């Protein structure tokens, strides 16, 4: 099933043909067996993580709230369905863009100042209200709630934004 298994077979064959002393041979056989077990464990771990991540990814994607994950500079890394609907934008349009692009002009400087402040502050959620400018639609007032979150891969701190239209 694994190529590791194939490599192991090869090494065992080599052991048979090359007349190594019997102690060394046994040691090597045992080491290979151990390696096999460890490999299987690591593969199992990977498969479990893949399954769990798929489930969490689905939850993020279809959470009943609009969520965006940005890096520390406010660049959008991820946006869920509800967020795309709220910003009236498409996934390929939002990726790599900046969240501040969707803030009304009058509030943008304040928005950026607050974002910088966040990075210097604590991990507890912070909330404020600001003007949101969706693509091709009228602007409206929205509640923003933000907290720190580790980014995928790098693990460095990013920001998780929850956005709700104010009633």
Residues that bind other proteins in the complex, under the rule CB under 8 A: 3-4, 7, 10-11, 14, 35, 39, 42-43, 45-46, 49-50, 52-53, 55-65, 67, 69, 81-82, 125, 145, 147, 149-155, 160, 162
* Cα-based torsion angle of the residue sequence 115, 121, 124, 128 in order, rounded to the nearest 10 degrees: -40
How many CB atoms within 10 Å of residue 31? 11
- Cα–Cα distances in angstroms (integers) from residue 6 to residues 1, 2, 16, 45, in the given order: 8, 7, 16, 21
How many CB atoms within 10 Å of residue 81? 15
d(CA 128, CA 112): 13
Q: Would you say 121 or 125 has its CB closer to other proteins?
A: 125
Q: Would you say 58 or 140 has its CB closer to other proteins?
A: 58
Q: Would you say 7 or 106 has its CB closer to other proteins?
A: 7
**98 contacts 74 by C-beta, under 8 angstroms:** yes
Q: Is the dihedral of CA 88, 134, 58, 78 positive or negative?
A: positive
Compute the least distance from the CB of residue 139 to other proteins, in Å: 24
Q: Would you say 38 or 109 has its CB closer to other proteins?
A: 38
- Cα–Cα distances in angstroms (integers) from residue 47 to residues 43, 53, 120, 124, in the given order: 6, 10, 37, 33
Compute the least distance from the CB of residue 164 to other proteins, in Å: 10
Q: Would you say 58 or 106 has its CB closer to other proteins?
A: 58
């Amino acid at each position: 099933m694994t190529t590791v298994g194939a490599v192991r077979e090869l090494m065992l064959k080599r052991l048979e043909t090359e007349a190594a002393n019997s102690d060394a041979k046994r040691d090597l056989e045992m080491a290979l067996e151990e390696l096999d077990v460890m490999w299987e464990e690591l593969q199992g771990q990977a498969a479990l993580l893949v399954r769990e991540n798929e489930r969490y990814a689905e939850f993020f994607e279809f959470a009943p709230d609009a969520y965006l994950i940005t890096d520390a500079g406010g660049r959008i890394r991820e946006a869920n369905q509800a967020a795309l609907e709220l910003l009236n934008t498409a996934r390929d349009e939002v990726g790599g863009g900046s969240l501040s692009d969707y803030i009304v002009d009058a509030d943008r400087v304040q928005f950026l100042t607050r974002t910088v402040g966040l990075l210097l502050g604590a991990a507890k959620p912070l909330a404020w209200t600001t003007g949101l400018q969706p693509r091709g639609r009228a602007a409206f007032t929205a509640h923003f709630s933000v907290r720190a979150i580790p980014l995928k891969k790098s693990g460095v701190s990013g920001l998780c934004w929850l956005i709700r239209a104010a009633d």
